[in-house]
Amino acid sequence: MKKLVIIGASGHGKVVADIAKKSGYTEIAFLDDESIADCGGYPVVGRSTDVANMDADVIVAIGNAEIRERIQESIDESWMATLIHPDAVVAEGVQIGAGSVVMAGTVINPGVRIGRGCIVNTSSSIDHDCIVGDYVHVSVGSHLCGTVAVGDGTWIGAGATVSNNVSICSDCVIGTGTVVIKDIETAGTYIGVPAEIIKKDRRENKF
């Protein structure tokens, strides 16, 4: 019997639970710090701090990168699951770190390295030889072209595109539909076509 505990009873958690079920987990439960009875039909059995008492694989299903990182870094990495939807296309040899989740319709091409605790969301694509840091969120329908590097904790917004051979530093927010055509070296929030900074220091944003 394969058991999974999901930390974070939310809409994102429901999607993670569905991927887990399709990946062969037969017993799924949630932990959440709010008073919630169930999530997607699965029970909420305690708070996030109860994870040490659970005899199961673990994944953190929280969209906020800072919170996801804080919780995952407090858990033994050997407990962490990595989930890949069976309808995702992942090339042979792709490296995906512990605690990451790859959702339906995603395409990940050869030579890609994805860090720990990442979210590669529905129908996104990561082309050849990209390097994606820890706790990155590649949002729905966004595209990383070949040989892109994305730093830790960065959020690539829905429908955004990052051109070939571009590097994005850690702790950035790339807004919905934004097109990044040159390197980003300053942490902050970027929007537009092409991308322009509107706010420095991503850590101030409530994502």
Residues with a catalytic annotation lie at: 128
Rg (CA), the chain: 17
C-alpha pair distances (Å), 64 with each of 3, 87, 203: 25, 25, 11
Structure tokens at 163: 């051109």
In three-state secondary structure terms, 4 is strand
Farthest CA pair distance, the chain: 50
What would the DSSP string read from start to end of 153-189? T-EE-TT-EE-TT-EE-SS-EE-TT-EE-S-B-S-EE
Q: Which residues contact 64 (CB under 8 A, 6 or more apart)?
A: 206, 207
Q: Phi/psi zone of residue 87: left (φ > 0), alpha (ψ -120 to 50 degrees), beta?
A: alpha
Residue in the structure block whose two tokens are 């029970």: 43
Q: Before 86, cis peptide (omega within 30)?
A: no
In three-state secondary structure terms, 57 is strand
